[in-house]
Structure 1
Amino acid sequence: MDILLKTKSFLSNDLISKILDSFFGKASQLIFTMVFSFVCARLYGAEVFGQYTYGFTLVSLLMFLAKAGMDNGLIYYIPKDGYKYVSFSFVAVTLLATLIITIASFIVDEHYVRLMMPLVLFLSLEQMFFSVYRANGNIKKYYFINGFLSISIRIMLIVIFYLTFEGHQNVNSVIISLYVSFVIVTIVYFRNSRNTFSKVTYSKEFLLYSLPLFVSSVMGVVLDRIDIIMLGNMVSKKEVGIFQISVQIANITSILLFIMNTVLAPKISELYHSGKLEDLKNIYIKSTRMLGIISLFATIVLCLLRKYLLLIFGYEMINGQTALVLRAIGQFINAAVGSVWLVLSMTGKPKIQMYANLFACIFNITLNMILIPIYGIDGAAFASMISIGVVSVFGYVVVNRYFQVKPYKIF
């Protein structure tokens, strides 16, 4: 409580307001996502839910290729140059997404995955809008669209399809619900952000800065999601569905880190560009201490209640108990070190994260190849825990030495 009071006294009222908006927005998004997973898994079964998870994970990986780091580039440049590169980044992302969709459609074998490929464009545009909303401070509005409106539409549609086509439900019903929701919210995003678009301004500097952020983002999502792709190819789609539920529950441990990063990214960039490094370091120290305490409490609760939390999604999901614990521990380490990679990327040093994530990905894939055939989803969860833990601790050490800060006195 003392740490929370000190943090509140330090941070500006505006920043506190944005953190609260991000907290309630992300919490509502998480709740609605869990409700969607619950409804989908309960109505359609672990097999169909696993197919959806596998396909959507692959689409998400390709989305990170399409946005090419330009979403984080916007967060870095908007506090500095305003909306100068917004139009250019959206055009570039649209062209890249179209190219990726075309190529992937010829490579992918599974019919339902090919049907999901155009979602790469919608997901990429959504992430670009997320960056604009973050830079503008309109976090509450974004989460209303992304967390409430979009997922509510999906839930409503999969229930309608289930009742309408009883006995003939398959993954196509889930895919249709995704398309409808993405089309609607993309129109809403454009209407709300039309004042940020102007003439297309090409910038080599913008692209070069975004490049290492692009590699870091791709490696980061590969590190977080490659286990699902490998499980989908090495075991069954049912195991993928069980693993996905365990991952979603375990990620509650690090939800506050995502919330902090959402708000602090433009703030850190602003402080860095204005030369207020002491304020930047103080924000990092206080937010890291708070993250460490809250994430530790969340990890303990999740580990103690793991069986009962998984039973909510169906009896067959209790096979994910060990995976849930391992993933939760990994996410605890990730949250406890604070916004280390955000600090580096928003202060002109994105290449460090790029190299660290590249190493972690190679390490994680190697462990998955060894452990999944032997231990299944538990092996994938252990590989993820070790890889995330190693790269998080490395980032913590780098930030501590580079900025001469030490959030935890003993380390």
Structure 2
Amino acid sequence: MSKPDLDINNEKSIKKNSFFSFLTTSLRVIANIFLFWTIARFYGPEIFGQFTYAFTVITIFLYLADFGLDILLTTDLPKDLSRLNIVFNELLTIKIIFICISSLLLFVYALLVKISNDVFHLLVILNFYLIATSFLNYLFAFFRAQERLEIETKITFIYNLFVIITVSLLYFFKLDVVYLAVCLVLFRLLALYIALLKSLKYIDKIRIKINFALLKKYKDKVSVFGTHYIFNYLYYNIDTVLLAYLIGEKSVGIFQAAFKLLVILLIIPEIIINALLPALSRLNNENKLIWESYSSLFNKLLMIIIFPAAILIFTNAHNIIDTVYADSQYSYSAEVLKYYVLIITIRFMIEPLGLLLTTSNKQHIRAYTVLFVTIISIAMNIVLIQKYGVLGVVLTGFVTNSIILITYIFFSYEICQKWYVNTKFVYFIFSVILFGITVLFIKLLIVQFLLYLIYLVTFGYFIFLNKDEKELIKAYK
């Protein structure tokens, strides 16, 4: 295949992946925002804290059940599709082992840890949600590996449509959130059934044969991907668990009221990563120059989006919280929102570097790094939460995310020199400072937002991006 042919195929592939990744992520986020906003606004911080705490615990054990096998399937399968059936069934067998372990440990956790009866009931019900979701995630990863993201989009649409309808009925009839948990399980099982039917069109047969020898065969890759996968989520969510344990479930509601709003920003790197991961895994072997070009573009897009957005959120935090929740009980959430957006900015800088490491077979660096910072995070959170309350989480997050960023820069030093040591990056820093000063003199949020959009187009596209990166952008038109 000639280089032009390779470029055209990559552009078409990434364009299609980006479109369906955007739809899938947007559908999920819209449904989640509606779900959590409804509970937060109409049930108060206590019940909201209980529900988000239960969901956080479930998701931690879900990551243990997945143990990086989904990412492993997504990155390894595109390199050799001739082994599709073998890889699918072997990794599925390992997946079942981890699901059983995770489900059992969750039940033990619910029995041993000091939690309210309401949270206990939610954990027991959502254990079935964990099992169904873990299998569903594996099938979605299988579709992504073949760059068939449209299947995930369709199933996600069906699932989230049911969620939105159920949440509306929940509020209308003033039902207990336990009923919502039961419905989430049923809808997840329906989505799993549809995905299973779709997967049978691409594989000869699903063969499940519990064989612990497979753990030995895949132990190196599974251990690396799994360690990073679970500790990465544990690192980003252990603060919620510790908040509930140390100062109560209501504090979880205060923190999550701010964090759930910032999740809207985090869908941007997620969409791009879902679109680029299979292609970049392949390009790292086939064409390093194109691999590096897409990575550079990813980095620049995230920076030009997040830096001015962080300024807007920082200066308008109290107005945002008051408008969204209209409840004085959430007033302290504004302080969390104001400072936690700085952590989100660091996370935006981390994501492109993490993608570089993953697609260049350096996942072990990410695994060891996140394991190290998780230990630091737990220790700092225990001390700082008791001293500063919810803001202790913010202080811990700033320190630990900075450690991750510095570590990733160190292991991607040559590429980071190209990204950050140049005239355009200096112009970018000055433009952000100028944008921030301008925002201080503009009081209306709508005018600030219009200025933000103008900034993205004028500076972001015409000045910050180079000629090659603009050509990559044009390929999406």
TM over 0.5: yes
Matched position secondary structure for 1:269: helix
Q: Is the 8 A contact 1:250 1:302 kept in 2?
A: no
Q: Name the residue aligned to 2:134.
A: 124
Q: Name the residue aligned to 2:404.
A: 391
* Distance (whole Å) between structure 2 residues aligned to residue 9 and residue 382 of structure 1: 46
TM superposition shift of 1:76: 1.8
Q: Name the residue aligned to 2:464.
A: none
Q: Name the residue aligned to 1:5.
A: none
* Distance (whole Å) between structure 2 residues aligned to residue 405 and residue 130 of structure 1: 36
Residues 1:209 and 2:213 are matched in the alignment: no
TM superposition shift of 1:306: 2.2
Q: How does 1:6-405 map to 2 (within 5 A)?
A: 12-82=11-81, 83=84, 84-109=86-111, 110=115, 111-112=120-121, 113-146=123-156, 148-164=157-173, 166=174, 169-197=175-203, 198=205, 200=207, 202=214, 204-274=216-286, 276-311=287-322, 312-315=324-327, 316-401=329-414
* Distance (whole Å) between structure 2 residues aligned to residue 237 and residue 217 of structure 1: 26
Fraction of identical pairs, as percent: 19
Instruction: String of CA shifts for 1:312-354, please: whole Å, max 9, x gaps.
Output: 1341223211211222111111212442222212222211111
**Long gaps (5+) in structure 1:** 1-7
Q: Is the 8 A contact 1:344 1:353 kept in 2?
A: yes
* Distance (whole Å) between structure 1 residues aligned to residue 313 and residue 195 of structure 2: 35
Instruction: String of CA shifts for 1:52-101, please: whole Å, max 9, x gaps.
Output: 11111111111111112111110121112222311222232223212321
Q: Name the residue aligned to 2:445.
A: none
Matched position secondary structure for 1:60: helix
* Distance (whole Å) between structure 1 residues aligned to residue 186 and residue 316 of structure 2: 36
Q: Is the 8 A contact 1:247 1:324 kept in 2?
A: yes
Q: Which has the larger radius of gyration?
A: 2
TM superposition shift of 1:11: 6.9
* Distance (whole Å) between structure 1 residues aligned to residue 331 and residue 339 of structure 2: 14
TM superposition shift of 1:193: 1.8
TM superposition shift of 1:124: 1.4
TM superposition shift of 1:133: 2.6
Query: Number of aligned pairs?
Result: 398
Q: Is the 8 A contact 1:53 1:244 kept in 2?
A: yes
One-letter amino acid of the structure 2 residue matched with residue 95 of structure 1: I
- How high is the TM-score relative to the length of structure 1? 0.89
TM superposition shift of 1:209: 1.1
Give the ranges of 4+ consecutive aligned residues of structure 1 lying more than 3 Å apart after TM superposition. 8-11, 161-164, 196-207
TM superposition shift of 1:205: 4.6
One-letter amino acid of the structure 2 residue matched with residue 301 of structure 1: L
* Distance (whole Å) between structure 1 residues aligned to residue 234 and residue 50 of structure 2: 18
Instruction: String of CA shifts for 1:249-300, please: whole Å, max 9, x gaps.
Output: 12333332111211111111111233x1122111111211121111112222
One-letter amino acid of the structure 1 residue matched with residue 160 of structure 2: I
* Distance (whole Å) between structure 2 residues aligned to residue 404 and residue 381 of structure 1: 27
Q: Is the 8 A contact 2:40 2:257 kept in 1?
A: no
One-letter amino acid of the structure 2 residue matched with residue 215 of structure 1: T
**Long gaps (5+) in structure 2:** 1-6, 209-213, 426-477
